[in-house]
Structure 1
């Protein structure tokens, strides 16, 4: 597993999460040593290897096609996870740490981000999974890594269902986005306003509305078809985002309900409420 991405997007957090899951983790390995490392870990009985690469490993981007061919010729399965974040999120995080970006030098942080995006574009194009961390905290990012790379059935598609609020932006890394703002908003019910979609009262209110059951049934049928196709194409992970205005009531309740349905049907599902608590 290659873990890469933009500086400030959470690569180290992701690598720590991989380590917690039992992967053998190495950071910023020179590309010429990758195949030797794989063979060494194999001999030691370790078959889960994660290698972190950032913009400082510049030669990797040009050498990746050759490295990829070497891995495949030795029967080694590989994937790339690329961590992305908006310019605003990266600037905010770097200012809080008071550390310059690797390519910043005497220039501005915005110029460094632009230069890094251009340099990383080749590796990003090869990525099997792109995670946008702009609106994720470290715990939410760890949860996503746990879902994707934790021990489990690697032959079938695993779903992560994510609730979100449109006012905080659409998740850029979602494979599918659904809008449940067609349902009445519990925000306008005084007794329900301070509660969330995790409460029984809000959940019952949302699920009892006209169209809610039909939406869940239709989404269930769609995902069953999609899961078969994804598995056939080798796509093991899919993120399904369900949004309402703020991500507090409707999307949370519907995401919880859809998760229960999919689990009852035997799917591997994790859940993430991206914007809960931000309202």
Structure 2
């Protein structure tokens, strides 16, 4: 069967040619919330299915990676799949690639093909194709990874199996105080100390950037709104690029002296502007807001 968009699966079997990208696909499924079991013997599929039924909501999406590493046990896969499909919605994803590309991938990592024995890599590939021919014919989805890099493959898995409308990137916008140190997990850092500090206004000192009087003060300063508008616009192509490159998470850190006034205001403003960005879920964090 050609590559098509599937309905939501109860149980997913991920298989295919060695070197075609099973590990990348499995990692992408995990990022999407699937419970992934790697190198599972076909005979263990039924117990896994029963466990998922018992766990119910704890294991709503289960994926099993099954391949020729199981040796002679792999021969049981077609029969096991037939039995499981009589009970549940079981779908098979088969990853494939051209022989020459598979050879180059094995040579790049300097590893032998698991079935080549005393022969060459291409010998192992031919044996594997023969063993997988039956399960490939039964596959619901065949993904050809010949021309895909790891990021493109992960994106394709996301397109196939993410819930409609699900965010492809989680953006955390964090306020912080420079006097407490830079956030170690920040991807980008901006400095708000070019704006006057509300701390030095006795009427504002005890409030924070979440209070309207501080917000109005900060955004009323020359350059404040211009910075927020320009920085939000600059982040848009970055977030789009992160999605194309399959980068799932990023942290934008906005700092001021104590992380209580200016940075908090700007974080809240940026979050409002970026919340509508397609494919992005925005989370706000104020790291130092409660510190003295």
The counterpart of 2:21, out of the listed 1, 10, 34, is 10
Deviation at 1:59, TM superposition (A): 4.5
| Structure 2 counterpart of 1:135 | 147
TM-score scaled by length of structure 2: 0.50
Residue aligned with 1:82, SS = strand
Mapped to 2, the partners of 1:86 and 1:69 lie a distance apart of 28
Question: Would the aligned equivalents of 1:61 and 1:120 in 2 still touch at CA under 8 Å?
Answer: no
RMSD: 1.9
The counterpart of 1:150, out of the listed 162, 173, 198, is 162
Give the direction of change, closer, same or farther, for the CA distance of 1:69–1:92 in structure 2 (3 Å limit). Answer: closer
Q: Which runs of 4+ in 1 moved over 6 A?
A: none
Question: Would the aligned equivalents of 2:42 and 2:74 in 1 still touch at CA under 8 Å?
Answer: no
Residue aligned with 2:157, SS = helix
| Structure 2 counterpart of 1:121 | 133
| Structure 2 counterpart of 1:103 | 115
Residue aligned with 2:68, SS = coil
Question: Would the aligned equivalents of 1:86 and 1:134 in 2 still touch at CA under 8 Å?
Answer: yes
Mapped to 2, the partners of 1:60 and 1:3 lie a distance apart of 16
| Structure 2 counterpart of 1:31 | 42
Give the direction of change, closer, same or farther, for the CA distance of 1:92–1:149 in structure 2 (3 Å limit). Answer: same
Per-residue CA deviations over 1:54-111 (Å, capped at 9, x if unaligned) read 112345654234323432333x101111111111111111111001110012111111
Mapped to 1, the partners of 2:84 and 2:20 lie a distance apart of 27
- Report the structure number with the largest CA radius of gyration: 2
| Structure 1 counterpart of 2:33 | 22
Consecutive unaligned residues of structure 1, counting only runs of 5 or more, are 154-269, 271-279
**Is 2:93 aligned against 1:72?**
no
The range that moved more, 92-101 or 50-59, is 50-59
Mapped to 1, the partners of 2:68 and 2:82 lie a distance apart of 22
The counterpart of 1:50, out of the listed 47, 53, 63, is 63
Deviation at 1:30, TM superposition (A): 1.7
Residue aligned with 2:70, SS = coil
Mapped to 2, the partners of 1:66 and 1:114 lie a distance apart of 23
Mapped to 1, the partners of 2:123 and 2:72 lie a distance apart of 21
Give the direction of change, closer, same or farther, for the CA distance of 1:133–1:65 in structure 2 (3 Å limit). Answer: closer
Deviation at 1:47, TM superposition (A): 2.3
Question: Would the aligned equivalents of 1:31 and 1:59 in 2 still touch at CA under 8 Å?
Answer: no
Deviation at 1:17, TM superposition (A): 0.4
Question: Would the aligned equivalents of 2:35 and 2:63 in 1 still touch at CA under 8 Å?
Answer: yes
TM-score scaled by length of structure 1: 0.52
> How many residues are aligned here?
153
